[in-house]
Amino acid sequence: MNSAVIGFPRVGKLRELKFASEKYFRGEISKTQLTETAKKIKAENWKCQKEQGIKYISSNDFSYYDGMLDTAVLLGVVPECYKNLNRDALDTYFAMARGYQGKEGDVPALAMKKWFNTNYHYIEPELGADTKIRLAGTKPFDEYLEAQAEGIQTKPVLIGPFTFLKLARYQDGKKATDFVEDICKAYREALTKLEKLNVEWVQMDEPALVTDLTKEDIVLFEALYKTLLSVKGTVKVLLQTYFGDVRDCYENLINLNFDGIGLDFLEGRKTWELVQKYGFPKDKILFAGLVNGKNIWKCDYEKVLSKLEELKKNAKEIVLSTSCSLLHVPYTLKNETKLAEEIKQHFSFAVEKLSELHELTVLAECDDYGKEKEYVANQRMIKSERCYQDAGVREAVTNLSEDVFVRIPERNEREKIQKKVFGLPLFPTTTIGSFPQTQEVKKNRSSYKKGEIDKSAYDKQNFGFIEECIRQQEEIGLDVLVHGEYERNDMVEFFGENLAGYVFTEKAWVQSYGTRCVKPPIIFGDIKRIRPITVEYSAYAQSLTDKPVKGMLTGPVTILNWSFPREDISLKEMAYQIGIAIREEVLDLEKAGIRIIQIDEAALKEKLPIRKSDWYIEYLDWAIPAFRLCHSGVKPETQIHTHMCYSEFDEIIRDIDNMDADVISFEASRSKLTILDAIQKSHFETEVGPGVYDIHSPRIPSVEEIKDALDKMLRKIPAEKLWVNPDCGLKTRGVAETIPSLKNLVQAAEELRNCGENC
Ligand code: GLN
Ligand code: ZN
């Protein structure tokens, strides 16, 4: 049996690509130095997979920023405003990803969206009247040759045309079907080119097939692939799906002229049933996604091998594969020096998953694998204690009564009380929490982590940063202040460190978008708050000013979604355990005199099931209550804020309102304010602060631009419900752009207040 990997992490095992790209952006290294770094990472990835005996290794899974953006560029989908900058290919590419402000022009970045149910984000291609899709790039061919030069045969990966068209944003009244002819032509040309290079297999990624499909979608999918495959020559095509099952189109899929079909047997709850019910064609290879590409637990060989045994009855040839790209797990456990062996033995990151794949393929061919030493060792590990349990925590969750999920009085009542006690102006201005993490801030943390300074020296500096931050905000003229979050580099890890049940890694980074990586902690046991987490910092900040300072917490769903979860208890149980811990923190903040508390649910949507039929039973029915559990105990005059990154919550807008916060802020600028219609239509009750500028880009927005955004908001949102804020935390930004941006924001709000009826 052979093994396959859908895709591999691409930032380098110590985030080399991130550091090189950021240096390049700052003008500190040349383009050649950046491409050399990329080349090294790619070569290392391929070699590592080859050494571990992987047969089907991907190329073109690498990206300088994002694979959807790569595909857009490959297909010539570059909007005019970026071309007009007249910069070279790579710089035009980065301008699309990050926006550009310089002597050549001033353009915002393209929109960024969540990649299905992951914490990875892609750049959204724009298709409009001016778009002419054609094969315009060479990246897949170049990278195939690059691997070949390293002596490695690879399968180039392309994001398939269906997923590309489904995820694109349409303008000028255009729709997907308008582009079918051109996109087929472009992909066909690509296939022909790959064939000329003697490529044996090409992988077409079509994760959009696991979403709820309409009849039109299926027609579109078939039209695309019938045309595409009609002139198929020697190159074999693997249709790769992941993140779920293909229940709406399985029969269509197996009847098309593919040579291999990749199915996800882990997240695809119906995959198994589909294969049993409709069979699997004899003339195709089944790429069985049985090794988890998203979680970090070692797999249970017994489960995988017995599944493979069963599948052998259905498919003539099986290749054992990952369930999705390994992009979503960290690089290697070898970088972890501090984890206890008894804990570490349960984990498997990208590199370790390669050896699991390999061992499993060998075992799958043994007549009696039960006796093999790899199998025995795996089962011994699986059966040893995997997670720490705490009876008290279990009991607290079981005993949660209905009323701890309901805040009283109702929001309208609270709103009146709060308007009176806070006396804030119309269009109150605020930020999302973090301020720039300067070199000084980072150095303080790293000295502390390295043990060079003790906790009190560390905090002394943090208090200094807080004081400066408060003064800065007062000077800028913001209405509701924050303490700046200098004590945390990450909104989950910081909380996890103060919660029993968590374990941490040193280098286990996972790409979130572009050069941004996160290091999700691992839930290894029942969760309990060990000590107050943020109270000291918030109370100190509040003592420095008469303006209200927001307490800053991360909500239970986000803490859960940005951690690697356990596999032995339900997500709901974990969310409620964390909810109880955050509730204790909220009440302590209130006691310490904090009058506004923001509980971030940045990642609320992340694990929203891909299929609508699963939304409530599988997720929202516990996720929304878990949030309410945190704040339902506060006084009516305490104002609860929440924040969500990405405003793509049109469809769950009522559920967001049901979180029963008093104020919500969210990203809106980059997704072009489309959420406003949904807010208006649903008579959204929560006060709202749609982000007025994009903090993922270093551009400084002008006062006019911000007023313009506010103007659009006011057409849909009542003035007394509108807050003015950036669209996310400022920690990744520099001071140089942050201060002027915020000054412009405050000025825009002031001008708007003053112009009264004339606006
Ligand atoms: N309060 C957090 C911050 O400002 C929120 C970050 C986020 O939404 N990703 O950094
Ligand atoms: Zn955010």
Summarised one tens digit per residue, pLDDT across range 56-72 is 999 999 999 999 999 99
Q: Lowest mean pLDDT of 224-228, 386-390, 430-434, 686-690, name the range.
A: 386-390
User: Taking Cα atoms as reference points, which of 722, 8, 695, 696 lies closest to residue 327?
Assistant: 8
Q: Would you name the residues annotated as active-site residues?
A: 696
- Least confident range of 66-75, 230-239, 656-665: 230-239
pLDDT of res. 756: 65
What distance in angstroms lies between residue 368's CA and the mean position of ligand 2's atoms?
52
Alpha-carbon distances of 35 from 22, 38, 154, 511, rounded to whole Å: 13, 5, 20, 19
- The residue contributing the CA closest to ligand 1 atom 8 is 602
The separation between CA 148 and the C-alpha centre of its own chain, rounded to angstroms, equals: 32
User: Do 227 and 268 contact (CB within 8 A), yes or no?
Assistant: no
- Res 672: pLDDT: 67
Q: How far apart are CA 605 and CA 184, in angstroms?
A: 33
CA of 387 relative to ligand 1 center, distance in Å? 30
Average pLDDT over residues 321-347: 96
Q: How far is the CA of 64 from the centre of ligand 1 (A)?
A: 25
**How far is ligand 2, taken at its centre, from the CA of residue 645, in Å?**
4
CB-CB neighbours of 239 under 10 Å? 26
Interval 420-437: pLDDT, tens: 999 999 999 999 999 999
Taking residues 261-286, report their average pLDDT.
Answer: 97
Residue-level pLDDT at 688: 97
Q: Give the pLDDT confidence score for residue 167 in this predicted structure.
A: 98
* Ligand 1 atom with minimal separation from the 432 CA: 4
Instruction: Tell me the pLDDT band of 670, cut-offs 50, 70 and 90.
Output: low
Mean pLDDT along residues 437-456: 96
In sequence order, what are the beta bridge partners of 550? 596
User: What distance in Å separates the CA atoms of residue 181 and residue 185, rounded to the nearest whole number?
Assistant: 6
Question: Best of 119, 430, 434 to mutate for ligand 1, by most ligand atoms within 8 A of CB?
Answer: 434
Report how far ligand 2's centroid is from the alpha carbon of 603 (Å): 8
* Reported confidence tier of residue 386, pLDDT bands at 50, 70, 90: confident
Residue 326 burial (CB count, 10 A): 29
Residue 646's pLDDT band (cuts 50, 70, 90): confident
Per-residue pLDDT tens for 702-753? Answer: 999 999 999 999 999 999 999 999 999 999 999 999 999 999 999 999 999 9
Residue span(s) of the chain under CATH 3.20.20.210 come to 56-200+210-232, 424-674+683-703+723-754
Residue 731 CA: which ligand 1 atom is closest? 10
| CB-based burial label for 403 (10 Å; 0-12, 13-18, 19+) | exposed
Class of domain 424-674+683-703+723-754: alpha beta
Compute the distance from residue 715 Cα to the ligand 1 centre, in Å: 27
How far is ligand 1, taken at its centre, from the CA of residue 358, in Å?
40
In the numeric block, which tokens belong to residue 655?
A: 């559920």
Say what the pLDDT of residue 627 is.
98
Instruction: Tell me which residue of 143, 165, 203 sits closest to 77, measured CA to CA.
Output: 165
**Binding pocket residue ranges, ligand 1, CB within 6 Å:** 432-434, 485, 491, 552, 600, 602, 643, 645, 728-729, 731
Among the residue ranges 5-14, 228-237, 300-309, 596-605, the one predicted with the least confidence is: 228-237
Mean of the per-residue pLDDT values of the chain? 96
Residue having the nearest C-alpha atom to atom 9 of ligand 1? 602
Q: What is the pLDDT of residue 425?
A: 97
> 3-state DSSP helix/strand/coil percent for the chain, to nearest 5?
45, 15, 40
Residue whose CA lies nearest to ligand 1 atom number 5: 729
Ligand nearest to the CA of 645: 2
| 609, 387 contact by CB (below 8 A) | no
Residue 757 in this model has a pLDDT that exceeds 60: no
Rounded average pLDDT over 385-406: 94
Given a cut of 90, is residue 384 above it in pLDDT? no
**357 contacts: CB under 8 Å, gap ≥ 6:** 3, 5, 52, 54, 291, 320, 321, 322
The number of the ligand nearest the C-alpha atom of 112 reads: 2
How far apart are alpha carbons 266 and 89 in whole angstroms?
A: 39
Q: Residue 592: what pLDDT?
A: 98
Residue 458 has a CB neighbour count (10 Å cut-off) of 17
Residue among 473, 600, 646 to mutate when testing ligand 1 (max atoms within 8 A of CB): 600
**Amino acid, single-letter form, for residue 319:** V
3-state secondary structure of 123: strand
Pairing verdict, β 516-518 and 510-513: antiparallel
At a CB cut-off of 8 Å and minimum separation 6, what does 543 contact? none
The confidence band for 254, taking pLDDT boundaries of 50, 70 and 90, is very high
Contact present, 238 and 261 (Cβ < 8 Å): yes
CA 502, 122, 33, 39 dihedral sign is positive
State the pLDDT confidence band at 40, using cuts at 50, 70 and 90: very high
**What is the rounded radius of gyration, in angstroms, for the C-alpha atoms of the chain?**
26
Residues with Cβ within 8 Å of residue 97, at least 6 apart in sequence = 65, 66, 69, 109, 110, 123, 514
Q: What is the 3-state secondary structure (H, E, C) of 598-634?
A: EEECCCCCCCCCCCHHHHHHHHHHHHHHHHHHHHCCC
Query: Nearest ligand to the C-alpha of residue 555?
Result: 1
Position 671 confidence tier, pLDDT thresholds 50, 70, 90: low
Q: Percentage of the chain with pLDDT > 70?
A: 99
Please report the pLDDT score of residue 747 as a whole number. Answer: 98
Q: Does domain 56-200+210-232 have CATH number 3.40.50.11540?
A: no
- Structure-token match 């408060």, residue found: 470
Instruction: Looking at the CA of residue 598, tell me the nearest atom of ligand 1.
Output: 1
Alpha carbon distance 239, 225 (integer Å)? 10
C-alpha to C-alpha distance for 136 and 678, rounded to whole angstroms: 37
pLDDT, residue 606, reads 87
> Which ligand number lies closest to the CA of residue 518?
1
- For residue range 461-504, list pLDDT tens digits in order: 999 999 999 999 999 999 999 999 999 988 999 999 999 999 99
What tokens does 280 get?
């699997």
pLDDT in tens, 138-155: 999 999 999 999 999 999
What pLDDT is stored for residue 271 in this prediction? 98
List pLDDT tens digits, range 340-355. 999 999 999 999 999 9
CB contact at 8 A, 724 and 745: yes
Q: In whole angstroms, what is the distance from residue 485 CA to residue 469 CA?
A: 10
Q: What is the pLDDT of residue 233?
A: 82
Please name the residue whose Cα sits nearest to atom 4 of ligand 1: 729
Which residue's CA is the nearest one to ligand 1's atom 10?
729
Tell me, what's the pLDDT at 758? 60
pLDDT band at 759 (very low <50, low <70, confident <90, very high): low
CA distance 681 to 322: 42
Mean of pLDDT values over 208-225: 98
Ligand 1 atom nearest to CA at 431: 4
Q: Which amino acid, 641?
A: H
For the residues of 472-537, what is the DSSP string, one character each? HHHHHT-SSB--B-TT-SSTTHHHHTTEEEEE--SS--EEEETTEEE---EEEEEEEE-S-SSHHH
Ligand 1 atom with the shortest distance to the CA of 552: 1
Burial class (CB in 10 A: 0-12, 13-18, 19+), 109: buried
